[in-house]
Amino acid sequence: MCINKEEGNYMENKTINGKVLMVIAPKDFRDEELFEPMAVFESNGLKVDVVSTKKGECVGMLGSKVYVNKTIYDINNIDDYDAIVIVGGIGSKEYLWNNTKLIELVKEFYDKGKVVAAICLSPVVLARAGVLKGKKATVFPAPEAIEELKKYGAIYEDKGVVVDGNVITAKSPDYARLFGLEVLKAIERLSR
C-alpha cells in the first residue's frame, strides 16, 4: 500500500488492474461525486464503466453532461467488475432508490465479496438491498435518508466516509475524493 506519511493519504501512483462500475441517475446526479472518484480510479489504472437507467445524455446537478452507452440492464456479468459505486445527487431518490435491477446488482456484488460503495443520497440503495444490515454507514444528512438507513438495520454514523468491510459510504460531495481513495484501497485489499 502506498501511504504518504506526511498527509496520511493514499498516494495515487500505483497501477491496479481491474474495473469499476459507476452508476449515475440520468438527471441530477452530483457531478463531483462522479468525476472525483473516477479520476482516482483511472489515475491508478482501473477502468471505469459509467452506466445509468437509460442510454444517452445524463445531466448532473451542476450541468455536467455525460453520454452513457450502457445501462444497468446491460450488466449481465458482474465478474467483469471489482466494485460498484453509486453516485448521489437529488436524482438518486427519483431514479435509483427504487430501481429493482440496481438493488439486485448491489446484492450480487455484495454476495460475491466485491466492493459495494455509495455516496450522498445513494447509500439508501445499499440499505434497500439489505447490505447495510448491522453495518456502519453514512448518508447525506437528510432526515428521510437517515431514516431509510436505520429502517433497514444500518448503524448510522454522522461521518464523512465510513468503511465497514467491503462496504463504503460517504455523506456528501465534500468527501468525493476521499470516498474514491477508500474504494481504491478496498479494491487493492481484495486484489491481493
pLDDT at 40: 97
Residue 8 has pLDDT above 80, yes or no: no
**22 three-state secondary structure:** strand
Mean pLDDT of the chain: 92
b/e per residue, 50-74, with b = 16+ CB within 10 A?
A: bbbbeeeebbbbeeeebebeebbee
Q: In the chain, pLDDT over 70 holds for what percent of residues? A: 92
pLDDT at 108: 97
Catalytic residues: 120
Position 13 confidence tier, pLDDT thresholds 50, 70, 90? low
pLDDT at 17: 80
pLDDT at 153: 98
Residue 6 has pLDDT above 60, yes or no: no
* Residue 103 near residue 135, CB atoms below 8 Å: no
Residue 136 has pLDDT above 70, yes or no: yes
Residue 5 has pLDDT above 90, yes or no: no
Q: In the chain, pLDDT over 90 holds for what percent of residues? A: 88
- Cβ atoms within 10 Å of 75's Cβ, excluding its own: 20
User: Which residue did the predictor score with more confidence, 63 or 15?
Assistant: 63
Euclidean distance between CA atoms 135 and 157, whole angstroms: 10
**pLDDT 10s digits, 87-113:** 999 999 999 999 999 999 999 999 999
Residue 175 has pLDDT above 90, yes or no: yes
pLDDT at 14: 62
**27 three-state secondary structure:** strand
| Interval 113-121 mean pLDDT | 98
| Interval 155-167 mean pLDDT | 97
**pLDDT 10s digits, 19-52:** 999 999 999 999 999 999 999 999 999 999 999 9
